[in-house]
Amino acid sequence: MAEMALWEAVRRAHDEELARDPMVIVMGEDVGLAGGTYKATLGLYEKYGPERVIDTPISENSFTGLGIGASFLGVRPIIEIMSVNFAWLALDQIANTAAKVRYMSGGQLQAPVVIRSPGGVAHQLGAQHSARMEKVFMGIAGLRVVTPSNPRQAYGLLKSAVRCNDPVFINEHEYMYNLRGEVPDEEYLHPLEGSEVAREGRDVTLFGYNISVHWCLKAAERLAAEHGIDCEVVDLYALSPLDRAGIARSVAKTHRAVIVEEAEAPCGVGAEVMAIINEECFYELDAPPVRVSARNVPIPYNRTLERAAIPDPDEVVAAVLRLLGR
């Protein structure tokens, strides 16, 4: 195992897939000469040249459509949208073309395209650069959505996505690019479906994804040390499709659930997980599921207000204690 930062794991996956398959290309704003805003393509322009690592104009709808069109002809593009906030501009190409073309063509066309983009609340980037858009992409039929919580997943998910014949949206978190973790020395492909148990427990399940997995783990340690409560933490790295069986399996084990997300609650991941719990294992519950989510406001620029707008491990601890009547 090698320890590396998440951005290094993403860069390694890019490098290996470009070397493995000459039909793989990378395209996006500043991915070439600059090496990517978050260094995810550092050095690849010099190694593979401008025809395979392509700097694009600041026109997300245009270059996303260009990459999707190329995928119809056998190219396997990795498209970086510099910030998920700008993915709104490319939503027509993603939702109306990439996600639908196989179905609408009766299988004659496919779009093996990867669209990866950082999002989430980082340090004082303001409302227009702090979007959590995973719930938007989850609602698009025909599009896979995954979101890594550690460098191992970031590496393996990107490699699997490149080799998948479905369009895949990879939602990375801006705040996590310097997060360090172990990545296998040998090639590793991570499943694009499923979930992972990040911590075994018996009293309550904490469901999280990307950054909220880490809030859940910190809260679980505190709850065990201070209250004797044994929490299971489930990492929902695949958001579309969600792991219905894995969600039900954990709830059947602990009989209680808290769903933690950085995004606002309405129409979100937490709402969908609660619906699955209701449909799959309602009679296993000893208490109603609880959501821990962001305030339903645009993210403020002010640092104090920004922190107040999103959850943290303290809120997860408080939610578990309420759920257990403590």
Amino acid at 84: V
Q: To which residue do tokens 């779009």 refer?
A: 111
Q: Which two tokens stand for residue 93?
A: 């190409």
| Secondary structure of 209-239 in HEC code, one letter for each residue | CCHHHHHHHHHHHHHHHHHCCCEEEEECCEE
Of residues 325, 316, 310, the one with CA closest to residue 260: 316
Which residues on neighbouring strands pair with residue 26, listed in sequence order?
A: 53, 78
The catalytic residue among 17, 60, 134, 196 is 60
Q: Does the annotation count 129 as an active-site position?
A: yes
Amino acid at 191: P
The catalytic residue among 129, 173, 190, 214 is 129
Q: What's the rounded Cα separation, in Å, for the pair 138 and 143?
A: 8
Q: Does the annotation count 261 as an active-site position?
A: no
For residue 240, what is the DSSP state?
Answer: E
Catalytic residues: 60, 129
